Amino acid sequence: MNTSHPLHLLLNPSSIAIVGANNNPMKMGTMHALSIMKDGYAGKLFPVHPKEKNVRGLTAYPSASALPVVPDLAILVVPSSEIINLVDEFGKKGTRRIIIITAGFRETGSHGREEEERLKETATKYGIRFLGPNCMGIINTDISLNTTVVTLNMKDGRLGMISQSGTYVSQTLPYLVKHGIRFSKAISVGNSTDISLIDALEYLGDDESTRAISLYIEGLTDPRRFLDVARSIVAKKPIVAQYVGGSKAGARAGLSHTGALAAPDHLYDGLFKQAGVIRVDSVEDLFGHGWMLATQPRLKGRRVAVLTNSGGPGSSMAHTCEQNGFDVPEFSETLRKKIEPLVPPHAPCGNPVDITFSMDVEVLSKKIPAIVMESGEVDAVVLHGIMRSGFIKVIYPHLVDMLNGTPLEGILNMLKIDFTSSASLPEKYGIPMAISSFFDFEDDFTEAYHSHNVPVYDSPEKAARALAALLKYRDIQQRLKDSRDESPIEKNDEAEHILNEALRSGRRILDEYESKRLLALYGLPITKELLVRSESELEEAIDAIGFPVVLKACSSNIPHKTGKGLIYLRLSSRGECVEAFGKIQKAAGAEVPVLVSAMAKGEREFMAGFLHHNLFGELVLFGMGGIFAESIGDRAFRIAPLSINDARNLVYDIRNAGLLGEVRGLPAVDEAALVHIVRSIGAIGSHHSSIREIDINPIILEGRSPVIVDALIVLK
């Protein structure tokens, strides 16, 4: 626990002032106050109100200055025009943490943006750290503090939630309670004017009651800091994130909601992968997968047992598990023999185990899972069909007149069993478990699972997919070593000289020859080549390089050469070369230098690049190359600089990464060489502030060796 973090006091105040609450129960301010008063918070609450003497039994004070103590935290739920004055008042009083619920700032346009700036300045003057504006406040179940408008009804939570939408920490509370999901802390960051989502992430990373963190994101202000913070947390606890700003509509919605600046989906994809954050695409998974990660023991392998009382859900769980990376191994003869006596004749017991319809819930909930967990043959269990009171309630109307008038309650009591030993199996064996039940939260079995922190989902595929979040986290931890490798290259002065020369001559682009020369200065492998301006130079070049060669017009005025008669491949005689040289001069319409390069021999073409993004900063990309690279659209991004591990993960992140391996008798790529190229591109871009963009396409694999065949450097 980081007690010096600005959020610590905000989440753990011993006294709170609230402005905007009165005695009208339908007023927002009152609803916020009621949550603090009614949900178990043991600290002091001071309503501040210009006219009311008393708010719901608490003495109200006319102003901040009139308060009998300096409250640790102030909560403001008043019109936006009053906010800055109130911040000033609380600043004078000595309060240093504020939650600003009120909306109407940056998200409304330019006037709101200016007001938000003034607000920030006012707070800064007093050293005040604040949450919001345009937020729902916070929940801290450690001290039963709930500043939202909705009843809390949860304690001993394990999931930390940080959201750019207030709804996801308030309107969803009853939904979460039904599903047994409980927040440790929840923080609605709103416009993130001061305390940001990343600050909150940093805090929850150190928070002991938080076992996993869920993030709802409309747009990050500082993706690079997110990367650093998230990556260091992921080593200890999992993070799940939903990002909705990647579409045109999502970006527009986010902007008018919290003033969030969105960026394309593929950049967030790269960011999340680089940081080791598990991405989901619905709030249901944000909560459901987060809860799985917050509660279940870590996975030790990828083998899962599928247990069911019904074939359909069993088949679809097995299918979904396998599609999500699990193995569903057939059980050993020994294990099957142990299960057989517990199930009807002919019932499948080799994984899936299908006990078929049965009212004996202990077989499915306890006996079989225990045998399976004990066997050492699986690392996780997914289980469908445990039901008790839910099912009895449903069939009761059919049975009532056969039960001698016993009321439903009586039947339920009669059939009551202790679910503790079933629900504590994951803890006992250190093996994670997910439950699927169509009776969901309307069953006493589910209640038992909930209270033992075993996640229950309302359909088989959902349980299987949630369980797979553990597998993703396991893979992330194996893949992600937070290495801070040294820069692969030192800055090269001659390279800087090339760039400066180009700038001095007013150019905004290096031609192919210069671009590759610059890369070669950094030791990157380029094709053997010479620039020629005459036929005699051409002859010399051919002698030096040897056939076959490629001839290309080389000028920064013509960066794209394909299809214009400016490029001739696979020339293997002097005659052909001379002819091509002439054709190029003709096609260019003016004398143009010609680049003579060795023809790269290889069929596997990739691309790599460096670019700047206004929000993400320096980025490195890798993808499928060749002339159709754009149409194929198979590329991935990472934030620079790249560690060796980052670069390795990047190159294998493309869809067609299989082409980097052994394929069709060709050797696997020299991984170290490729990783070095990709990292160096990022470092070169960083070393030279005049570089805006480096585009390398293709990188051809000559055997196992990546060779840069074409490159273009764009200047700022």
Output 170 or 680, the one with its CB closest to its own copies.
170
- Regarding 191 and contact with its own copies (CB under 8 A), the answer is no
Count interface residues toward its own copies (CB under 8 A): 113
Closest CA to 324 of 369, 292, 354, 370: 292
Q: Can residue 399 be called a binding residue for its own copies (CB under 8 A)?
A: yes
H or E, element range at 228: helix 223-234
Q: Which of 209, 232, 250, 692 binds its own copies (CB under 8 A)?
A: 250
- Binder to its own copies among 3, 249, 334, 341 (CB under 8 A)? 249
Interface map 500-539 toward its own copies (x if CB under 8 A): ----------------------------------------
Tell whether residue 42 is a contact of its own copies (CB under 8 A). no
Q: Among residues 458 and 653, whose Cβ is nearest to its own copies?
A: 458
Applying CB under 8 A, the span of 7-15, 27-35, 518-526, 636-644 interacting with its own copies comes to: 27-35
* Subset of 204-233 contacting its own copies (CB under 8 A): 216, 218
Residue list 483-502, contact with its own copies (CB under 8 A): none
Provide the CB-side half-sphere exposure for 436 (13 A, CA): 26
User: Based on C-alpha coordinates, what's the Rg of the chain?
Assistant: 32
The helix or strand, by DSSP H or E, that contains position 607, with its residue range, turns out to be strand 605-613
Please state the separation of Cα 512 from the chain's center in Å.
38
Pick from 297, 348, 525, 593 the residue near its own copies by CB under 8 A.
Answer: 348
The number of C-alpha atoms within 13 Å of 170 and in the hemisphere containing its C-beta is: 21
Beta strand 159-163 pairing with 145-146: unpaired
Stretch of 275-283, 486-494, 500-508, 697-705 lying at the interface with its own copies (CB under 8 A):
275-283
What is the x/- site pattern for its own copies, positions 640-669, by CB under 8 A? ----------------x-xx---xxxx---
- Of the pair 170, 210, the CB lying nearest its own copies is at 170
Specify the DSSP class assigned to residue 646.
Answer: H
Q: Angle at which helices 535-545 and 574-588 pack, to 10 degrees?
A: 130
Per the listing, tokens 């005659």 go with 575
CA distance 343 to 356: 8
Q: Any alpha helices (H) in 637-670, and if so which ranges?
A: 644-651
- Does position 148 bind its own copies by CB under 8 A? no
Of the candidates 193, 188, 184, 196, which has an alpha carbon nearest to the alpha carbon of residue 171? 188
Q: What is the total residue count of the chain?
A: 716
Nearer to its own copies, 636 or 691 (CB): 636
Q: Which of 142, 199, 379, 458 binds its own copies (CB under 8 A)?
A: 458
* Structure token pair of residue 300: 């030790």
Whichever of 43 and 602 has its CB closer to its own copies, that residue is 602
Of the pair 210, 320, the CB lying nearest its own copies is at 320
CA dist 713 and 715 (Å) reads 7
Phi and psi at residue 557, to the nearest 5°: -80, -20
If one asks whether residue 55 binds its own copies (CB under 8 A), the answer comes out as: no
- Between 128 and 553, name the residue whose CB sits nearer to its own copies: 553
Alpha carbons 21 and 49: distance in angstroms, whole number = 7
Rule CB under 8 A: say whether 397 interacts with its own copies: yes
By CB under 8 A, is residue 628 in contact with its own copies?
yes
Query: Shortest CA distance to 75 belongs to which of 200, 151, 211, 188?
Result: 188
Counting contacts by CB under 8 A, is residue 405 touching its own copies? no
Structure tokens at 71: 């409250």
The least CB distance from residue 560 to its own copies, in Å, is 10
CB of residue 322 to its own copies, shortest distance in Å? 4
**Interface residues for its own copies in 319-338 (CB under 8 A)?**
319-323, 328, 330
Only segment of 46-54, 538-546, 627-635, 705-713 that touches its own copies (CB under 8 A): 627-635
- Is 439 near its own copies (CB under 8 A)? yes
Q: Does position 283 bind its own copies by CB under 8 A?
A: yes
300 contributes a contact to its own copies by CB under 8 A: no
**Which of 150, 198, 380, 435 is the binder for its own copies (CB under 8 A)?**
150
Sign of the CA dihedral running 126, 127, 128, 133: positive
Decide: is 706 part of the binding site for its own copies (CB under 8 A): no
Contact 330, 304 (CB under 8 A): no
Candidate ranges 86-94, 438-446, 495-503, 702-710; the one touching its own copies (CB under 8 A): 438-446
Instruction: Answer yes or no: are the C-beta atoms of 382 and 461 closer than 8 Å.
Output: no
DSSP 537-600: HHHHHHHHH-SSEEEEE--TT----TTTT-EEEEE-SHHHHHHHHHHHHHHHTS---EEEEEPP
104 lines the binding site for its own copies (CB under 8 A):
yes
- For its own copies, the binding residues in 349-368 under the rule CB under 8 A are 350, 352, 354, 356-357, 359
Query: Least distance in Å: CB of 485 to its own copies?
Result: 30
Position among 19, 21, 31, 640 found at the interface with its own copies (CB under 8 A): 31
For 116, 213, 358, 375, 544, the CA distances from 381, given in Å and listed in that order, are 51, 23, 20, 12, 66
Q: Which of residues 113-132 bind its own copies (CB under 8 A)?
A: none
Q: How far is the CB of 387 from its own copies (least distance, A)?
A: 8
167 versus 585: smaller Cβ distance to its own copies? 167
